[in-house]
Amino acid sequence: MTSEHALREAHPTERAVGIEYYVSDADGIGGHLRASPDDFRVRELEAFDAEPLGADPGSYPELVVRVTLRDWDTNDFVRRISDALQISRERVSWAGTKDKRAVTTQLFTLREIDPEDLPTIRGAEIEPLGRAGRRLSFGDLAGNAFEIRVADVVEEAPERVAETVRDLRAFAGGDDDATDATDATDATDADEAPIEATVGVPNYFGQQRFGSRRPVTHVVGLAIARNDPREAVRLYAGNPAETEPDDTRAARDRVDAAFGVNTEGADGADVDEPERSAADGTGDGDWVDCLDAIPGKLRFERSMVHRLADRDTDPDASVDDEDWWHALEAVPSNLQRLFVNAAQSFLFNRILSERLRRGLPFDAPVAGDVVCFADGDAPEELYAPDTDRLQWVDADRVSVVSRHCERGRAFVTAPLVGTETELGDGEPGEIEREVLADAGIEPADFALPRDFDSAGTRRAILLRTDLDASFADGDPRLSFALPSGSYATVLLREFTKSGPLDL
C-alpha cells in the first residue's frame, strides 16, 4: 500500500465536485481571466479534411468555412448566420461550442451554401476553405490551442509561475530541477523570464462540467443512478444555492416545501444545505403554486414542475414512480445525458483525488492499472489518448508500459463508470471500488431508462501539454494545447490558486 501524500487543499467549491487538491504547492498569482476578449484566444485543432472550393456541390454539399469570432457565443453566432443566410439552423454545423468572452477560431459547415452567399457579420471573420461531403460533428474536434493572459496578478507572479511550472513538470514525469524553470525563478526582469516546459496536471473535469454558481448536475445524476428520479427532480428544481438571486432561491424553497423538505429551522432561519437532502413526507404537492413562484428564466425547472402539475403527482409517490421519470424527461435529451455524464465525471474526479492523496503516479502505471495508447491521428501539438485501445497492466509489464508512457505512447486511465465498465486491479482497482462504494453506486446502476443509460468508458488521468509562458507586459501569457474533452481551467487553477468563479 502506498503511503498517503500531503497536498495543498483545493477551493471548497472544487472539493464539492471531487477536485480535492492542487498538484503544485506554490502560492498563486491571483488575477482574473477575460478582462478583454483578446485575453482569451482559442483555436480549434480539427481532424477534418475539405475538398477544394471548386469541388462539385452536388457531391460535396457542405461549404467549409473558418470563422474567427470576437465576443460571440457559438450558439448566438449560429442563430445570426442562419438568419442572414435565411436557412434553418440545422444546416449549420460545428465541432465544439465556445464561450462568449473570447476570440475563437473554428470551422463551420454550411449546407448548400456558396462562397458568394456568405454574409458580413460584425465581430466575425468568415473565410471559405473548401467543400465537404458531410457536416462537421463533435468527433471532428481533436483539441484546442489556447493563448491566455491572466490580468492583475501579484507582483511576485514571475517567480510563482516558475515554481508552479517546476512542480507541474515533475508531475508530468520530467526533471523538477529543469533549467528553464530555474532560470525563470532567478530572473530579475519579467521580460527575461520566458518558460518552455512539458507540464502535467490531473485530467480533472473542470467546474464548468457541473455548474460554477450552482454545481448540481452531478448530484442529480447520482440520484438518477440510484434509481431515485423523485430526488433527482427535487435536486434540480428545488435545492437552492447561496450564490443564486433572491427570486430563484425563493422559487426553489417553494419547490422544496412542495416535496416536504423543511426549509426553515426551529428559529425560522434557513437550514443548512445538507439538511435538504431528503423530504420528510409532509409536502403539500401544490405544483401549480410552485409554477407561480418559478420565474420564466428557469425554463427547464418550470418544464419539470409543469409535468408534475399536469399529472397532479403525489409528493409521497414512490421514489421511482413513472411520474418522476416523466418530469425528468421534460428537459432536452442532451441535458438528460449531461446529468448522468456529470455523475460519472464527479466519480472520476474523486478517483483522481484519492490517487493523488495516496501518492500513486499519474505519468506511469502501477500493477492493476489500465492504460490506453496514444491517438496516432491527432495533431502534433497534442498529447492525445485513444481510449478505444486499452491494456491491463500486471506486475510483469509495469516497466515496459512505463517506458511507453514516458515517450507519450500510452496513458494511464481511470473509469467513467457505466454498465460495461471493467474496474482495475490492485491498488488502482481498490481506489475505484472505494469511491463507488462511498457514493452508493455500482456499474450496473447505469442501466437506466432511455437517454439516461450509459455504457461508460475510460479517460486518461494525466493531462500533459507543452507550455509557453511569458511576461512581456507584466502579466503572464500562457500558451498550450489540450485534447478534446479536457479543460483549460484545470491547468490555470494551478497557477492562480483562485476559486472557480474567479476564473
pLDDT score recorded for residue 191: 47
pLDDT score recorded for residue 184: 44
475: DSSP letter: S
Same domain? 46 vs 140:
yes
Q: Which of 144, 173, 191 is the last residue of a domain?
A: 144
CA atoms of 297 and 88, how far apart (whole Å): 25
Residue 136 in any domain: the answer is: yes
Residue 489 in any domain: the answer is: no
CA atoms of 430 and 368, how far apart (whole Å): 9
**Closest residue by Cα to residue 458 from 344, 299, 300, 320:** 344
**Residue 99: active-site member:** yes
pLDDT score recorded for residue 176: 53
Q: Which residues of 198-229 are buried (b: 16+ CB within 10 A; e: fewer)?
A: bbbbbbbbbbebbbbebbbbbbbbbbbbbebb
Q: What is the mean pLDDT of residues 115-134?
A: 97
Which region among 31-35, 285-289, 499-503 has the lowest average model confidence (pLDDT)? 499-503
CA atoms of 481 and 467, how far apart (whole Å): 8
Q: How many CB atoms lie within 10 A of CB 259?
A: 27
- Could you give the percent of the chain with pLDDT greater than 90? 83
For residue 437, what pLDDT band results from cuts at 50, 70 and 90? very high
The answer to whether residue 356 scores a pLDDT higher than 60 is yes
Residue 217 in any domain: the answer is: no
Residue 332 in any domain: the answer is: no
**Closest residue by Cα to residue 481 from 143, 39, 66, 34:** 143
Looking at the 3D structure of the chain, how many domains does it have? 2
Q: How many CB atoms lie within 10 A of CB 337?
A: 15
pLDDT score recorded for residue 5: 63
Evaluate whether 94 touches 65 at the Cβ level (below 8 Å). no
CA atoms of 73 and 100, how far apart (whole Å): 4
Greater confidence, 41 or 1?
41
Catalytic position from the list 73, 99, 286, 466: 99
Residue 349 in any domain: the answer is: no
User: Of how many residues is the chain composed?
Assistant: 503
pLDDT score recorded for residue 402: 97
**CB-facing half-sphere around the CA of 36: CA atoms within 13 A:** 6
Task: Report helix angle 299-311 to 246-259, nearest 10.
Answer: 30
Residue 236 in any domain: the answer is: yes
- Of 185-189, 215-219, 275-279, highest mean pLDDT: 215-219
Same domain? 233 vs 139:
no
Q: How many CB atoms lie within 10 A of CB 139?
A: 10
Chain-wide mean pLDDT for the chain? 91
Q: What is the mean pLDDT of residues 109-137?
A: 97
Residue 2 in any domain: the answer is: no
CA atoms of 100 and 103, how far apart (whole Å): 8
pLDDT score recorded for residue 2: 54
pLDDT score recorded for residue 464: 97
Q: What is the mean pLDDT of residues 32-51?
A: 93
The whole domain housing 259 covers: 229-319
What is the SS3 assignment for 316?
Answer: coil
pLDDT score recorded for residue 473: 78
CA atoms of 108 and 132, how far apart (whole Å): 11
Q: Which of 268, 299, 319 is the last residue of a domain?
A: 319
CATH number at residue 123: 3.30.70.3160
pLDDT tens column, 225-252: 999 999 999 999 999 998 899 999 999 9
The answer to whether residue 267 scores a pLDDT higher than 50 is no
Beta-bridge mates of residue 110? 63, 92
pLDDT score recorded for residue 501: 80
The answer to whether residue 343 scores a pLDDT higher than 80 is yes
Q: Which of 117, 144, 171 is the last residue of a domain?
A: 144
Evaluate whether 213 touches 242 at the Cβ level (below 8 Å). no
Which region among 5-9, 103-107, 310-314, 321-325 has the lowest average model confidence (pLDDT)? 5-9
Residue 430 in any domain: the answer is: no
